[in-house]
Amino acid sequence: MKNILPSLKLPLLLAAITTGGAVTAQTTVANLRPYDKGGINVFESPKDTSAVFDKLKVAFGAGFTQGFQNLRHSNNAGGLYKISPGFNTANANLFMDVQLADGIRLNLTSYLSSRHHNETWVKGGYIQFDKMPFKGQVWEDIMKIATLKIGHMEVNYGDQHFRRSDGGHTLYNAFIENYIMDAFTTEIGGEVLLRKNNFFGSVGISNGMIKGNIDSLLKTAEDENIHKSPSFYFKGGVDKTFEDGLRLRFAASYYTNKSSGGQTLYGGDRTGSNYFMVLEKAGSTYTTNAFSGRLNPGFSKKVNALQLNGFMKAKGLEFFGTYETAKGRSKTETIDRKATQYAAETIYRFGQKEQLFVGMRYNAVQARLADVPGTPATAIVYTKDVKVDRIAFSAGWFLTNNIMLKAEYTKQDYKDFPLADYRDGAGFNGYVIQAVVGF
């Protein structure tokens, strides 16, 4: 892991200047999802319009994860990266949250150490408005139910992105890794969230790419369209807690982009997988092959995606389910391809403060992949859908609200891949242990 002290100097200096030398606790920032155990099963950020603002405040948080891995992989053709039991490189995140004004906060998240990038760099930042700096009863009435976010931020598509591991911050995830088809990306845009009487709905628009881009698109033989379209995404559902403590949540999300300059809905993670180097070819590197164990359908030009989620919590028992279907293509294709994903997980939390948990997750993806051109010896043609499925069993212990130890046994199999694909007959299994800090 890199030395993170130089990376902390600038934010700490800014905090000292803006707060008169005081770096405050994160509880001074309103409507912030806690980075510790209190943030588990929190989806959209809390909404509290009664929070009192007295002056600008800065709060810092962090996420650290150190893993030990003992996974084994195999395929029919051989030629895989040689792996053995050992510690993975530790990941670290830095969160800076600023209470700018009454009901207005800013977030900046940086990756201090990650598998995909060796240098410290910014994930994104946004401003969130739970109140407006305008006088008038009409604005007060609107903002009682509305939240506005603007910036370079995590797109609120689906509920699974609230439960995934993100670089060094893995405390929300009861398992080691994210979904096989990981719907997560950061884009520049804005979204409005409305909440009232247990119902919620949101609409967002973004640039449709993981970063700013003013370049003209290039024509291809398959697609002469050089127009860059924005992405639109929508979400709606109900989240209700009953008198006996039972909580039920249902959400439906839709994301669409008709002509992107580099769509990354299923490839927007810039940190990397928590299964290091499984099912990677010999000669691969940690940075360029950072997403081991995942399947990106490659909808880089066009995508339409729907995700349905259900969540239930009854005392210590939790269930979370996902159905997802997506259609799209790249700029070198003319026909849309389809991908479908299912996932179901059950977690039981027990102990006086639910500090212990056990869990099981099943995740499966069926997708038609893009053909790989080349000579007859290297070309790969996908004449039917491929399938990837995973089963994982986990257990964990919160020593405190900020410190967690978790372990997982996992088994993942690859089916119906062509003989020319190195993933033909492939699979991996074994265990991973992680020590996690979040505050």
Q: Of the candidates 423, 321, 285, which has an alpha carbon nearest to the alpha carbon of residue 367?
A: 423
Residue 297 pLDDT grade (very low, low, confident, very high; cuts 50, 70, 90): very high
**Both structure tokens of 235:** 């979400």
Contact 221, 175 (CB under 8 A): no
- The DSSP code for 279 is T
**Sole residue written with tokens 């600038």:** 10
State the chain's mean pLDDT as an integer: 92
Write out pLDDT tens, residues 88-140.
Answer: 999 999 999 999 999 999 999 999 999 988 789 899 999 999 999 988 999 99
Pairing state between β 356-367 and 386-398: antiparallel
Domain ranges of the chain: 64-89+137-438
**Sole residue written with tokens 């391809």:** 337
How far CA 405 is from CA of 69, 398, 399, 411, 435, in Å, comes to: 14, 7, 8, 21, 5
Question: What's the rounded mean pLDDT across residues 15-28?
Answer: 45
Q: What's the whole-model pTM score?
A: 0.92
Please give the CATH architecture assigned to the domain spanning 64-89+137-438: Beta Barrel (2.40)
Question: What's the rounded mean pLDDT across residues 376-387?
Answer: 93
Q: Pick the residue with more confidence: 23 or 99?
A: 99
Q: Exposure of 377 by Cβ count < 10 A (0-12 exposed, 13-18 middle, 19+ buried)? A: exposed
Total Cβ atoms within 10 A of residue 413? 15
Q: Under 8 Å CB-to-CB from 102, ≥6 apart: which residues?
A: 53, 131, 133
pLDDT (0 to 100) of residue 20: 40
Contact 32, 60 (CB under 8 A): no
Q: How many helices (H) and strands (E) does the chain have?
A: 2, 17
Q: Which residues of 23-33 are buried (b: 16+ CB within 10 A; e: fewer)?
A: ebebebbbbbe
Q: Under 8 Å CB-to-CB from 274, ≥6 apart: which residues?
A: 65, 67, 88, 165, 170, 176, 177, 178, 432, 434
pLDDT (0 to 100) of residue 27: 53
DSSP state string for 356-402: EEEEEEEEEEEEPPPPB-SSTTT-B---S-EEEEEEEEEEEEESSSS
Write out pLDDT tens, residues 305-359.
Answer: 999 999 999 999 999 999 999 999 999 999 999 999 999 999 999 999 999 999 9
Span of 202-211, 215-224, 377-386, 408-417 with lowest mean pLDDT: 215-224
How far CA 399 is from CA of 52, 92, 354, 404, 435, in Å, comes to: 32, 19, 11, 6, 11
